[in-house]
Structure 1
């Protein structure tokens, strides 16, 4: 029987190669991701099956100005840092992060891989702050510009 492109079977997901990425501002932020949304043709909603190994973070501590994000923990345990406060997370926990909300990151504090679904909007443009690094990232499609907080100037007028 034919499987439509909108349906990803568990065996197909298991066979998908994961893309490993290290965050540009944090060499300890290393994650492997399978782009489930893109594999089914989604263009405006990014759904990723993420894996973070023990002792690593999923990303640098940050907040988005325009995109919303969320995480749903499938396996393992960790900490989500929200507004500089750590909170333990485990299987079945959900984290919703509104645009212009609190800065956050997700860490694997356990001894097994931390596996979670991550979802976010796939906006053409976004701005992302990294408060611990005092950096702001401007994103426009594939173009990204990183600016130190001290260099940010309001538009004249």
Structure 2
């Protein structure tokens, strides 16, 4: 058995060594060096570290990341995607999932009536290692995570990789329009 590669790119068969394709193996030693700090533009409490796992391996239709949320921080602004699915698997730490009805967007009418017309009625659900969470396209509930523990909340998230999407932020009363990779926030 040969040792795993030390680089994330390998020469493509039949080409010179200067031509490379992504390697399917993404070792933890490389992942830990790729975390980048981010703050969500609509929520200053959403500060976290993120590592892109899928691009390094050449995946083109699936986006997969690993996020690390410090204690007391949020993962993002509460949101729902119209055109892409999204899933999460909790690896470590503890926190809560914040769910809010999507009232002015594309959510389920019965759920909107249940939550009222403000779009800010909140459901808090404890999350812990081993939990799996999934949101289909046009989910009726906007979501985010909040780290309520004393250690980092670490999870893997993934979904469809798309150059186009519509994302509603019911609390911020904003909509993000993504078209051909260009991003624009508009008022709801």
Q: Compute the TM-score of the two structures, normalised by the length of structure 2.
A: 0.75
Aligned twin of 1:130: 169
Deviations 1:83-137 (A, max 9, x none): 3201000010111011111111111111100000011211110000000011111
Equivalent-residue separation in structure 1 for 2:63 and 2:146 (angstroms):
20
Aligned twin of 1:104: 143
SS of match in other structure, 2:54: helix
1:9 counterpart = 2:21: no
Which is greater in Rg? 2
Could you list the runs of 4 or more consecutive aligned residues of structure 1 that deviate by over 4 angstroms after TM superposition? Answer: none
Structure 1 residue ranges without an equivalent (≥5)? 150-157
User: Which moved further from structure 2: 18-27 or 1-10?
Assistant: 1-10
Displacement of 1:8 in angstroms is: 1.2
Q: Is the 8 A contact 2:49 2:68 kept in 1?
A: yes
What is the number of equivalent residue pairs in this alignment? 148
Within-5 A mapping of 1:1-150 = 1=3, 3=5, 5-14=23-32, 16-83=33-100, 84-101=122-139, 102-149=141-188
Equivalent-residue separation in structure 2 for 1:45 and 1:68 (angstroms):
10
**Once superposed, what is the RMSD of the aligned Cα atoms?**
1.3
Deviations 1:42-76 (A, max 9, x none): 12211111100011111000100011111101010
Determine which structure has the larger strand proportion and give its number: 1
Structure 2 residue ranges without an equivalent (≥5)? 11-22, 101-121
Q: Is the 8 A contact 2:164 2:181 kept in 1?
A: no
Q: Compute the TM-score of the two structures, normalised by the length of structure 1.
A: 0.89
Aligned twin of 1:154: none
